[in-house]
C-alpha cells in the first residue's frame, strides 16, 4: 500500500499530464506504432492527410485515458492498445470532419488538413479513419465494446448537429449548450474510459464509474476549452483566440455574458454572433463584457463542478498509480484555465 500511495503522491510534485504520460509511455509507443500501421493505404493521399492531422494531434489524451483506465482496472493484456488506437481514430475522424464543418483555417497553429487538401479530402479521409476504427474493434471482437463506441459515435454526430443548430442563436440556453458538449466531446471521453473496465472484465459498477468519470471530465475539458477561446492570458501567450467568436459559436461564456448583459450589450452580441457583422475591436469588447459579468470565471467554476463529479466517481477504485493519474488529469484540464 505504501508504495502505491507514494506513486499517487507523485502528482503533487510532477505536472498531472506528465504523470499520466509517463505512466502510459510504453503502451502509448505501441499505440503510436499501430496508428502509423493502420492509417496506411495504397491510396497515398490517405496517409498524407491522416498523418498531417495525427502528427498535429497534440496530447493523445483520449487513447491515454483508455490505456490508463484499463490498467487501473487491473487489465494485464495488450488488447487495450488496439482499443486506444480505435478511440484516437474516431477522434481524428471527427477533427477532420470538424474542419469541413467549421470552415476553420487553423487548428493548433498548424494549417488544417482542410486548408491544404480541401473539403473533399477531409471528409473522405475522416470516413476512412472512422472505418478503420471499427475494423480495429471488430478485430478485437468484443461486442459490448463495439456497442459502446458505435453508440458514442452516433452521439458525437448528434452533438455536432445540435451545435450547428444552436450556432448564431444567442437565445441558446445553458442546458442546450451542455447537451452539445456532452455529445460532441464528453461522449468519447466517457466511452474511452468505460471500455477500460470492459476489457478488464470488471463489474458493471466499475464500468459505470469510469463512464461517469469520463463524461464529467469531458464536459469540464470542453468548458475550459471554450473559456480559453476568449482568454486574454491565452492571447498574451501568443495562442490564437477568438475562433468561436468569428464563427458565431454559442459557448457558455457567451451565454452567461448575454444573459447577464444590458439590452445594449445584447444588441452587440446579436450583431456580432447572429449577423456575424464583426468589426475591429469587437473581440476585445466581447472579452471585456465577459470579464465585466464574470462569465469566464464562472465558466471555470462550472468546469470545477463537473471535475469534482469526475473525481468522486473514481472513489470506488483502489488507490493505485493509475487512479492517481486519472485524478490528476481532472486538475490538468481545469488548470489550463490559469
Residues that bind its own copies (CB under 8 A): 41-43, 45-46, 94, 97, 100-102, 119-121, 123-125, 127-128, 130-132, 134-135, 137-139, 141, 143, 146-147, 150-151, 153-154, 156-158, 160-162, 164-165
Whichever of 96 and 254 has its CB closer to its own copies, that residue is: 96
Rounded to 5 degrees, φ, ψ at 41 are -160, 150
Whichever of 47 and 74 has its CB closer to its own copies, that residue is: 47
Return d(Cα 227, Cα 262) in angstroms, integer: 21
Return d(Cα 299, Cα 147) in angstroms, integer: 33
Residue pair 212/313 in contact (Cβ under 8 Å)? The answer is: yes
Please state the closest distance from residue 181 (CB atom) to its own copies, in A: 14
Return d(Cα 171, Cα 151) in angstroms, integer: 29
Return d(Cα 263, Cα 103) in angstroms, integer: 31
Please state the closest distance from residue 73 (CB atom) to its own copies, in A: 22
Q: 110: part of which helix (H) or strand (E)?
A: strand 110-111
Helices 16-23/321-335 angle, 10° precision: 140
The alpha carbon dihedral of 98, 56, 64, 150 has a sign of positive
Residue pair 177/166 in contact (Cβ under 8 Å)? The answer is: yes
Whichever of 40 and 291 has its CB closer to its own copies, that residue is: 40
Residue 138, C-alpha cell as written in the block: 471488430
Residue pair 126/96 in contact (Cβ under 8 Å)? The answer is: yes
Whichever of 129 and 286 has its CB closer to its own copies, that residue is: 129
Whichever of 42 and 281 has its CB closer to its own copies, that residue is: 42
Whichever of 92 and 94 has its CB closer to its own copies, that residue is: 94
Amino acid at each position: 500500500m505504501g508504495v502505491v500511495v507514494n506513486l499517487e503522491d507523485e502528482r503533487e510534485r510532477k505536472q498531472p499530464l506528465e504523470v499520466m504520460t509517463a505512466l502510459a509511455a510504453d503502451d502509448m509507443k505501441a499505440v503510436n506504432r499501430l496508428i502509423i500501421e493502420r492509417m496506411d493505404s495504397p491510396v497515398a493521399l490517405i496517409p498524407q492527410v491522416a498523418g498531417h492531422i495525427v502528427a498535429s494531434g497534440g496530447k493523445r489524451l483520449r487513447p491515454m485515458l483508455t490505456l490508463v483506465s484499463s490498467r487501473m482496472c487491473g487489465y494485464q493484456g495488450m488488447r487495450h492498445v488496439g482499443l486506444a488506437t480505435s478511440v484516437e481514430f474516431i477522434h481524428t475522424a471527427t477533427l477532420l470532419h470538424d474542419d469541413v464543418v467549421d470552415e476553420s483555417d487553423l487548428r493548433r497553429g498548424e494549417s488544417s488538413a482542410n486548408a491544404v487538401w480541401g473539403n473533399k479530402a477531409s471528409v473522405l479521409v475522416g470516413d476512412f479513419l472512422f472505418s478503420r476504427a471499427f475494423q480495429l474493434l471488430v478485430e478485437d471482437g468484443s461486442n459490448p465494446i463495439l456497442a459502446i463506441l458505435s453508440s458514442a459515435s452516433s452521439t458525437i454526430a448528434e452533438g455536432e448537429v445540435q451545435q450547428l443548430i444552436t450556432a448564431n442563436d444567442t437565445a441558446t440556453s445553458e442546458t442546450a449548450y451542455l447537451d452539445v458538449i456532452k455529445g460532441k466531446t464528453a461522449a468519447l471521453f466517457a466511452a474511452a474510459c468505460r471500455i477500460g473496465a470492459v476489457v478488464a472484465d470488471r463489474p458493471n459498477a466499475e464500468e459505470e464509474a469510469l463512464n461517469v468519470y469520463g463524461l464529467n471530465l469531458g464536459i469540464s475539458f470542453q468548458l475550459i476549452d471554450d473559456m480559453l477561446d476568449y482568454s486574454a492570458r491565452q492571447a498574451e501567450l501568443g495562442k490564437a483566440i477568438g475562433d468561436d467568436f468569428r464563427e458565431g459559436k454559442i459557448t457558455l461564456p457567451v451565454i452567461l455574458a448575454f444573459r447577464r448583459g444590458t439590452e445594449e450589450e445584447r444588441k452587440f452580441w446579436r450583431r456580432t454572433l447572429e449577423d456575424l457583422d464583426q468589426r475591429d475591436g469587437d473581440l476585445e469588447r466581447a472579452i471585456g463584457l465577459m470579464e465585466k459579468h464574470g462569465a469566464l470565471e464562472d465558466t471555470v467554476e462550472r468546469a470545477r463542478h463537473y471535475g469534482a463529479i469526475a473525481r468522486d466517481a473514481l472513489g470506488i477504485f483502489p488507490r493505485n498509480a493509475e487512479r492517481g493519474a486519472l485524478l490528476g488529469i481532472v486538475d490538468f484540464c481545469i488548470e489550463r484555465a490559469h
